[in-house]
Homo-oligomer: A and B are copies of this chain.
């Protein structure tokens, strides 16, 4: 690895990340410090917290599928008070900015929760998870609808006390671009694209759903091309930065998301598969940039070459493989 040449830092609004690699909410906790050096990460992203204590969903909460896993956790947690008193301090020991994901299915409660978090000095960013597909049985959430998104984001933004608000969108929405624009209009400072795909597995041995909650969110490297398409479409239509989440397993995937228009990425699955993956991806990304003489990783953002595509099939078919 050639080192010390490329500048890996990216700015998401006023927040500077030392590099564009962050964990995805719910797939990370300070406990990973047992295995990796958390100070290497672009950011620390806490698991989505709800205002009241929640036990979460029935077990089993995970099942393997043909190519990936479905999971349904149901946002368990000990509530906002415990979180601020006991969990924020765990993260505060480390240097990267702390992004706290939070959620509610009630706008007023969401606003209250935001207010409480914003008042906590160690919280650098509020990430509104308006897209968890498994917090209730129907899979519905604000991010499925343009109007709900706008209303929720407005109410939350009001209570951020000037702290940046990132909004996590759903890949289950039909028109991601309209929803992204609604979130931007309502004051989101960054869009996190995307949460998990609402899914079902039925066991053929006992004819029962494989998960205790019936539905679960599908997580798989296979899904990257879908989410990448969403990031690409949204990036063409909004001005705020985007964090791409879905199927990143290697440095080239970070590059691909950035080319499509993301400023950074979030990683879940890959860190489960290889607990040291995030650190390795940062190292590999640095090496990748240095090998190509890329001086600032931000040069990659939106750099896809898509403006001179040949649309005559008779011409393109005669190009080499």
Q: Which residues of A contact B (CB under 8 A)?
A: 55-60, 65-68, 70, 74, 139, 144, 172-175, 197-202, 204, 206-209, 212, 214-216, 218, 220-226, 228-229, 232, 247, 249, 252, 255-256, 259-260, 303-306, 309-317, 319, 321
Q: How far is the CB of A206 from chain B (nearest CB, A)?
A: 7
Q: How far is the CB of A64 from chain B (nearest CB, A)?
A: 11
A212 CA to B174 CA in the complex, in Å?
24
Q: Looking at the complex, which one of B55, B70, B215 makes contact with A313 (CB distance below 8 Å)? A: B55
- Are A58 and B310 in touch, CB under 8 angstroms? yes
Given A201-B225, A207-B305, A218-B225, 11 other A-B contacts at CB below 8 A? A55-B313, A57-B313, A65-B224, A66-B249, A67-B68, A67-B220, A67-B221, A144-B175, A204-B255, A208-B305, A218-B222
- Are B215 and A58 in touch, CB under 8 angstroms? no
**Residues on B with beta carbons closer than 8 Å to the beta carbon of A315:** 58
Q: How far is the CB of A6 from chain B (nearest CB, A)?
A: 15
Q: How far is the CB of A71 from chain B (nearest CB, A)?
A: 11
Asked if A206 meets B305 with Cβ closer than 8 Å, knowing A199-B225, A218-B226, A313-B58, the reply is yes
Q: How far is the CB of A246 from chain B (nearest CB, A)?
A: 11
Q: How far is the CB of A307 from chain B (nearest CB, A)?
A: 10
- Are B70 and A225 in touch, CB under 8 angstroms? yes
Q: How far is the CB of A199 from chain B (nearest CB, A)?
A: 3
A144 CA to B175 CA in the complex, in Å?
9
- Are A312 and B58 in touch, CB under 8 angstroms? yes
Q: Looking at the complex, which one of B56, B198, B206, B222 makes contact with A220 (CB distance below 8 Å)? A: B222
Q: Which 9 A-B pairs have the closest CB atoms?
A: A174-B174, A222-B222, A67-B222, A199-B225, A58-B316, A200-B229, A66-B221, A67-B67, A204-B252
**Residues on B with beta carbons closer than 8 Å to the beta carbon of A317:** 58-59
A90 CA to B14 CA in the complex, in Å?
65
Q: Looking at the complex, which one of B68, B208, B260, B309 makes contact with A306 (CB distance below 8 Å)? A: B208
- Are B174 and A66 in touch, CB under 8 angstroms? no
